[in-house]
Structure 1
Amino acid sequence: MKAIVKPTNLLEGTINALSSKNYTTRYLLIGALAEGTSTIYYPAHSEDSDAMRRCIRDLGAIVEEDEEKMTIQGFGRNPRDVSELNVGNAGAVLRFLMSVAAFCPKVTFINAYPDSLGKRPHNDLIDALKQMGVEVDDNQGKLPITIGKGKLHGGKIQVSGNVSSQFLSSLLFMTPLLDEDSEIEVLHDLKSKVIVGQTLEVIAQAGIQIQASEDLMHYTIRGGQKYQPQKYVVQGDYPGSAAILAAAAVTHSDVKVLRLEENSKQGEKAVVDVLRAMGVNLTHENGIVHVRGNQQLKAGEFDGDHFTDGVLAMVAAAVFAEGTSRFYNVENLRYKECDRITDFVNELRKAGADVEERQSEIIIHGRPQGVTGGVEINAHYDHRVIMALTIVGLRSEKGLTINDAHHVAKSYPHYFEHLISLGAQIEFVD
């Protein structure tokens, strides 16, 4: 599907933030790892969360849901013996389940998206699993990957945090279920520490005890623990809402986004402060972010590692800021659904933006007058790229046509619907 994004001067109205994808996938997983029935209220509906639903069902969880909630009867540390799992294009789901699959005799994760997830590396997690006696047959760290139980054990484990925090989270979910105690040491740097905090928060809610060092680089996990079935409420999603807020920031607007908790542990909550620093007129009270945009933004410098999944939306806003903006410490964007630095910068240039890239930086020379647009650009199968390019299209002179725009459903199926309800002019061509 192509999305034809036309210049839009005014956005106005109120929407509910979608439910958090990150929290939904984590609650689904710990519900499956519990022995008993857990309930999740307001779960997200996206391709990623649907992939986790599908896979835990395949592994033996009994999942039922209505319009408000979902119940999960878990399998604990005894998943069903399955030969294959299809995680679609969901990298976090793949990585979380690679550790869980070590409880199965042998499981192959198939390569359903060779041009996207199929290109992403998973060597760091594979190395850690092998330290635990797990048998892994992989394609140089890439899908398809086969996990065999081998001689699974706990003990001392080292994992690199250079590429993704998801490798560490995967081990944190699984190791409490082992017979032996475990110690996890994170090597090098740890990207997206805030997201690891979400993992630890969710695990603790299920009654699991993990001792973490203050810098989140070392963990002590007692073996023989069990996830307790609980009731969970999914909060509103900051990463997806970042794109709505950025769209409001670059237009004349009066937009409210509800269900965004001020005390959330989502790192992307920082986009509110980023927009404030860029001079956007907004308030954040009682779970409501209210933006009154006037198209006047100023440049700034920001450490993007604190809000990884909100960076592209903020870059899109910075395209129209006065001055030069810099988003640094973002190298891990290169290892997502696409290379979110090189691929995204190339598409922005096609649209008329003045942007540069470094290995771990995106630099934007703002054009407050707007960009020309009037071109067809590629989404690279990436939901965050689609959302960010849409923001640019709204402030362009001639609009933008975004190819493969249906992939926005990976995290935010109602993104275009929400923007249109606020007044955005967007058309679609199959």
Structure 2
Amino acid sequence: MSGHGTPIPMTSRKCGPLTGVADVPGDKSISHRSLILGAMAMGETRISGLLEGQDVLDTAKAMQAFGAEVDHLGAGEWAVRGVGVGGFAEPENVIDCGNAGTGVRLIMGAMATSPITATFTGDASLRKRPMGRVTDPLALFGAVAVGRKGGRLPMTIVGAAQPVPVRYVVPVPSAQVKSAVLLAGLNAPGKTVVIEKEATRDHTERMLAGFGAEVTVEQTDEGRVITLTGQPELQPQVITVPRDPSSAAFPVCAAIIVEGSDVLIPNIGLNPTRAGLFTTLREMGADLTYENERIEGGEPMADLRARFSAGLHGVEVPPERAASMIDEFPILSVVASFASGKTVMLGVKELRVKECDRIDAMVKGLRANGVTVDETEDTMTVHGMGRDVPGGGVAATFLDHRIAMSFMCLGMASVAPVSVDDAGPIVTSFPIFEPLMTRLGARLERVGA
């Protein structure tokens, strides 16, 4: 699949039980951060289990452009020889981040406090996404950003020659914004403080500490206060990337809605700032069990078993849980279609500024397949249909990988097949989705292939 070339229409048909082991790719969030922090350390960082989707490969290329040596040693095995904090070289060419919203925002933060200039672009989807939420706090360090109208790519960042530490209250829950500010704070003298009113995924804080940075986290009346001491010498690490819970969401949810299914997903990261979907599914009556629970590299992990779950019922997902499952609401809305009663998702306006407006995309696609859905700016409500989801429609993916995969899962259990206009973007995060799901028993067909 290619998310950047000719569209790849795909159809998913009702299938028999999904069974077997689903070895999903490495965690995308941790993969991005492993490459970036490896490039900012002195010495060689070794990474195993890296997600080799296009988003992460684009970040690897960007780190090379900033002067780090990045070598692919084998399947999922990489070595990064870093240049140290403040050691980034000025890239000779434009940095193309493809579809990677996480990648571009974190890289902007990492280079914003070095006296260099870099220009960033991406694919059609990424060029529509607002960057002001990152460039505004980076300006407090002394960086200057010049982009298209609305703070969109292509954009040039002029790094601060004499950066100053900042104290920043994140206005909306966003791990990308928090992480960009913390990465910028690495090369600023003194202490940079980030305050979150609502906790978001904490991979950056965990990994900064693992690389030897002085970082503290406190819960106060203001919220979650993260304090980073700038200009450390980061130490290279050996990193094992856990498997991505956001990718695992698709075989997990498909197993829950396809009758007779029993799927095991080994080595899944269960960081509490990422596990909101699994909590919600259990509240809906899903048969999910954790096996072999353990801690590896500071991250909680387990083997996750998902079985077909008759009698799913709608729930209300509280707004404070949104940050821990923001990427999983599209596939949750699919599961909700097969539940009885209403599933109400609150506090989800962040979905409107992802790879596409994911609320709009899911509402249109679900309605095209016979499901009743309501929306407001900040909520989405799915009226469940039990086992009788009609299907039969074509969903537009809007160049969004998670929209494409969600509707492929819908078709595995709906009465009539479900199609998408372009499954190509799936390669950005889950390049083995099609063969993996087919091995489990899914019936996926490339239209016209």
Q: TM-score, normalised by structure 1?
A: 0.93
Check conservation: 1:134, 1:152, Cα contact below 8 A.
no
- Cα distance in 2 for partners of 1:228, 1:409 equals 32
1:406 aligned residue: 424
| CA apart distance, 1:104 | 4.6
Question: Aligned Cα RMSD in Å?
Answer: 1.8
Cα gap change, 1:375/1:202 in structure 2, threshold over 3 Å: closer, same or farther? Answer: same
Instruction: Choose the corresponding residue for 1:71, options 54, 74, 79.
Output: 79
Check conservation: 2:89, 2:116, Cα contact below 8 A.
no
* Range with bigger deviation, 252-261 or 149-158: 149-158
- Cα distance in 2 for partners of 1:194, 1:150 equals 27
Cα gap change, 1:6/1:338 in structure 2, threshold over 3 Å: closer, same or farther? Answer: same
* Range with bigger deviation, 239-248 or 371-380: 371-380
Runs of 4+ in 1 over 4 A off after TM superposition: none
Instruction: Choose the corresponding residue for 2:97, options 76, 87, 107.
Output: 87
Alignment of 1:202 with 2:207, yes or no, is yes
2:177 aligned residue: 167
* 1:50-69 alignment, distance < 5 Å: 50-64=57-71, 65-69=73-77
Alignment of 1:45 with 2:52, yes or no, is yes
- Cα distance in 1 for partners of 2:16, 2:143 equals 56
Cα gap change, 1:35/1:90 in structure 2, threshold over 3 Å: closer, same or farther? Answer: same
Alignment of 1:184 with 2:202, yes or no, is no
Unaligned ranges ≥5, structure 1: none
Alignment of 1:332 with 2:350, yes or no, is yes
Cα gap change, 1:161/1:198 in structure 2, threshold over 3 Å: closer, same or farther? Answer: farther
Instruction: Choose the corresponding residue for 1:234, options 234, 241, 252.
Output: 241
* 1:16-415 alignment, distance < 5 Å: 16-64=23-71, 65-76=73-84, 77-82=86-91, 83-102=93-112, 103-110=114-121, 112-114=122-124, 116-139=125-148, 140-162=150-172, 164-178=174-188, 180-186=189-195, 189-190=197-198, 193-195=199-201, 197-214=202-219, 217-252=224-259, 253-261=261-269, 264-265=270-271, 267-286=273-292, 287-303=302-318, 304-415=322-433
| CA apart distance, 1:148 | 1.0
| CA apart distance, 1:86 | 0.8
SS of 1:372's equivalent? coil
- Cα distance in 2 for partners of 1:39, 1:333 equals 34
- Cα distance in 1 for partners of 2:282, 2:230 equals 45
| CA apart distance, 1:324 | 0.8
Number of equivalenced pairs = 421
- Cα distance in 2 for partners of 1:412, 1:68 equals 13
2:444 aligned residue: 426
Unaligned ranges ≥5, structure 2: 1-7, 293-301
- Cα distance in 1 for partners of 2:228, 2:323 equals 26
- Cα distance in 1 for partners of 2:115, 2:421 equals 40
- Cα distance in 1 for partners of 2:169, 2:102 equals 16
Check conservation: 1:48, 1:93, Cα contact below 8 A.
yes
Cα gap change, 1:170/1:95 in structure 2, threshold over 3 Å: closer, same or farther? Answer: same
Check conservation: 2:144, 2:158, Cα contact below 8 A.
yes
Cα gap change, 1:106/1:352 in structure 2, threshold over 3 Å: closer, same or farther? Answer: same
